[in-house]
Every structure is written in C-alpha cells, then in structure tokens.
Amino acid sequence: MRLGIIGAGAIGERHAAAAEQVGARVTRIVDKSPERAASLAAKHDAVADVDADTLWDDDALDAVAICVPNFLHHPLALKAMRAGKDVLLEKPMALSAIDCAELADVAEQSRRILQIGYTHRFTAVGSAAHDYIATGALGDIYHAKAHLHLRRGIPGLGGWFTNKALSGGGALIDLGVHLIDLVLYLLGQPRAVSVSGKAYSKFGVKMKDYVYESMWAGPPNYSGTFDVEDHATAMIVFDSGATLDLQVAWACNLPTGTAPDSMIAILGDRGGVAFELFGDHLLLRNQVAGRNADCKMSLAPAEQMELQMEDFMTAVRTRRPGIGATPLEGQKVQLIVDSIYESSNTNVPVEQ
Ligand SMILES: NC(=O)c1ccc[n+]([C@@H]2O[C@H](COP(=O)([O-])OP(=O)(O)OC[C@H]3O[C@@H](n4cnc5c(N)ncnc54)[C@H](O)[C@@H]3O)[C@@H](O)[C@H]2O)c1
C-alpha cells in the first residue's frame, strides 16, 4: 500500500511510523506547515507538499491517513474518496452526525474503504476484553461504565483543540469518542435510544488561572479561544436495555488516588470485566465452582497504532472492513456525541 499522510503533527508522525513498521510505503506527506511536511517527509523518503489537493491526481497513491484538526476531517475525506483513495480518518469522524452520514454515503457509493481511527479497539486490554466478552462469560450485559479523568490535561489551550469551530467540542469529542466507540464495540454495537448529558466548562475558560502540569499540543496561547467543555457526563440507554455511564474530563478536581484515571467496566448478570484504558491487564469477576471469584488476566503489550494500520492495509487489499471502525459505526458514535451536547443545552434527554 502506498500511503499519503495529511497532517504531519503528533498523530500523523505516529501513523507514518506505524505504516513503515507494517510494510506500507509512505510516499507523500502534506502539512500546511512546509517545515513539518519536509521534516516528516525526510524521515520516510517521501514527497512533501503544503496542499492536500496535490495528492488527488497521484495514481500511484492508494490511500491517505487524515490527521488534521477535526473540522478538516469531513471535507478532506470527501475529496480523498471522490479521488478514488481509501481513507484512514482520525477521530472524531466529523463535527456532526449529518456530516458523518454524508461520508458514509460517499464511501458506499464510491466503494472506498473509510476506517475511523478508534485505536482503543487495538490495545491489549481493548482486544482482550472484546474476545472475553464474545465468549458469553458475562451473561446478560446490563451496564457499562466508561470513565476517563484527566486532572489537568487540557490540550493546546487557546489552540485548535479548544476552539469549537475547529474542534467541534472539548473533552467529549476529543477523548469521550474513544470511550463511546470502545463500549459500543464491546457491547456488539447496540443503538442508543435515549441520551442525557451535561457538558461543563470550568477550567479552560479562566485561561490565565489554569494551573497545569503538562499540556500536549501546547504551549498555551492566551490570546486564543476556549469555548468548549472540559468535562462531560452522560447516561445512555441502548436498545438492548443496557446503559452506559460516561464520564470524561480534560480537567477536574477529582483528588488523585480516589479513583483510577480511567476505567472501563462491563457488567453482566454472570460476570464482569474491568480495565484501565492504557492498562496491561483485565480484572475479571465470575463464579468458579460455585464461588465468587476475582481474577487478573495479564496481557502482553500491543502496538495499537501498528495493529490498526495493519488492519487498514488488509481492508484496502481485501476490500472488506476489518476490526477498525466502519463509517456507520463512526456515525453512531457521533450521534451520541451530538445528543449529549443537545441534552446539555436543553436539560432534557434526547430520544432516538
Ligand atoms: N487516535 C488517537 O488516539 C489520536 C491521538 C491524537 C490525535 N488524534 C486526532 O488526530 C488529529 C490531529 O491531531 P494532532 O494531535 O496530530 O494535532 P496536531 O495539531 O499535532 O497536528 C495537526 C497537523 O495538521 C496540520 N494542518 C492543519 N491544517 C492543515 C491543512 N489544511 N492541510 C494540511 N495540514 C494541516 C497542522 O499544521 C499540524 O501539523 C485530530 O483530529 C485528533 O483528534 C487522534
């Protein structure tokens, strides 16, 4: 597979490295910053450009990985698919479920592979939890918890991450989408029928008062914009009857040590499984020989970026989706996100 990378920032670099590791050829790098494009291109012996439109006529290019700020996902993915390229599109799929639906339609009409970058399906814990749940060991699954609490983790304060027009939102659309996708994946893709949620903006709005320890995509730009949420909470009811309790924060005052930074827990009437998002083991609860038992499944590390790229490459070769999120699955995540924002604004649940 000959791959172009659009956006040579933090994740673009990781996709390029993963592609080389799994035997794809990175032939084109685009970034609006000529320095970034040239620097990453030099590492991969690729051609550098500042404008993605230079890619579409390159017949030797099979696919692109789109790794630019969120507001560019929809227009660039449309252009790429219409030019006959398969697409690995970073999350979130787009800024709204309506835009996701258009992408899904175009992928189908143009017969392009469009895979959304929900990498947590490929972590050691994510894939082991999926395989364990698929054995049926949990029985009837009735509830899931998905929590991720960064204490002071707002990215790029005042940059594109915190500007709603460019990002579509804050902690929810940046990190919450990973949690939602992972739970949908683990639960076998149920459909949300009721969503109530609240989005809070408590830390980033007071830009100068925000005391942080680290900041990816930093340093802060105090003359920039912060008009997104730094914490979101939601309760989602699925058509299966199961519920999801979602908590995601870029910043919050949850004292360190009172709860793990992240936890995914899936509860069934016969068993349960819980793990940390970046953990190296699953905790399982079940009955063994008529007794309640807790046990720990230790896992070898997994290179999720490489596994994701390998899965994408296989999908491109076989013309069939693999483990990675399909357009309709990406759209489903976005519909829940849209509903949480709507419910937060109206203070009533959104029924679907
Ligand atoms: N899957 C994951 O775990 C994960 C992790 C990080 C980021 N992401 C996603 O990847 C995307 C990029 O995030 P990032 O952290 O790499 O951001 P970043 O700011 O580090 O990089 C974005 C790059 O895009 C370039 N760019 C902006 N506009 C462009 C344009 N019109 N044409 C070409 N290049 C352009 C910028 O110059 C920059 O180099 C976001 O959508 C983010 O949500 C996903």
Q: Ligand 1: which residues within 6 Å by Cβ? A: 6-12, 30-33, 36, 52, 67-70, 72, 90-91, 117, 119, 174, 217
Q: φ and ψ at 138, to 5 degrees?
A: -85, -10
Greatest CA separation found in the chain? Answer: 65
Residue 205 to residue 228: CA distance in whole angstroms: 8
Query: Quick one: which atom of ligand 1 is closest to the CA of 156?
Result: 19
Is the pLDDT at 282 greater than 90? The verdict is: yes
- In this prediction, residue 184 has a pLDDT band, given cuts at 50, 70 and 90, of very high
Q: Is 225 left (phi over 0), alpha (psi -120 to 50) or beta?
A: beta
pLDDT at 260 > cutoff 90? no
Alpha helix (H) residue ranges in 31-176: 34-44, 73-82, 97-110, 124-134, 164-167, 171
**192 in Cβ contact with 134 (< 8 Å):** no
Share of the chain residues as helix, strand and coil, in percent rounded to the nearest 5: 35, 25, 40
**Is 128's pLDDT higher than 90?**
yes
| Residue 236, SS3 per DSSP | strand
Instruction: Report the residue among 67, 118, 119 best suited for mutation to probe ligand 1: largest number of ligand atoms under 8 A from its CB.
Output: 67
Distance of CA 199 to CAs 173, 253, 258, Å? Answer: 11, 15, 22
- Between the CA of 247 and the centroid of ligand 1 the distance, in Å, is 24
Atom 33 of ligand 1, nearest CA residue: 31
Q: State the pLDDT at residue 259.
A: 85
Structural domains of the chain in order of their starting residue, each with its CATH number: 2-118 (3.40.50.720), 121-305+334-351 (3.30.360.10)
- Find how far residue 214's CA is from the centre of its chain: 21
- At 122 the pLDDT is 98
Distance 67 CA to ligand 1 centre (A): 4
Pairing assessment for the beta strands 272-275 and 262-268 based on DSSP bridges: antiparallel
Residue from 252, 294, 253, 302 nearest 277 by CA: 302
Strands 141-149 and 243-249: parallel
3-state secondary structure (DSSP) of residue 301: coil
For a mutational test of ligand 1's pocket, the pick from 5, 6, 11, i.e. the residue with the most ligand atoms closer than 8 A to its C-beta, is 11
CA of 136 to the centre of ligand 1 (A): 38
Using pLDDT thresholds of 50, 70 and 90, give the confidence band for residue 270: very high
Say if residue 209 is exposed, middle or buried (CB neighbours under 10 Å; 0-12, 13-18, 19+).
exposed
Half-sphere exposure of residue 108, counting CA atoms within 13 Å on the CB side? 9
Write the pLDDT tens digit of every residue in 206-259.
Answer: 999 999 988 999 999 999 999 999 999 999 999 999 999 999 999 999 999 988
Tokens at 330, concatenated? 């990406």
Ligand 1 centre and the CA of 91: distance in Å?
Answer: 10
The confidence score (pLDDT) of residue 154 equals: 98
Distance 26 CA to ligand 1 centre (A): 17
* Identity of residue 165: A
The answer to whether residues 284 and 273 touch, using CB atoms and an 8 Å cutoff, is: yes
Predicted confidence at residue 265, as pLDDT, reads 98
For the question of whether the overall pTM of this predicted structure is more than 0.85, the answer is yes
DSSP string, 140-207: SEEEEEEEEE-SB---STTSGGG-HHHHSSSHIIIIIHHHHHHHHHHTT---EEEEEEEEE--STTSG
How confident is the model at residue 245, as a pLDDT? Answer: 98
Which residue from 6, 15, 31, 157 has its CB within 8 A of the most atoms of ligand 1, so it is best to mutate?
A: 31
Over residues 291-315, the pLDDT tens digits come to: 999 999 999 999 999 999 999 999 9
Contacts by residues 130-133 (CB-CB < 8 Å, ≥ 24 positions apart): 130/185, 130/186, 132/273, 132/282, 132/284, 132/297, 133/186, 133/187, 133/266, 133/273
Distance 243 CA to ligand 1 centre (A): 32
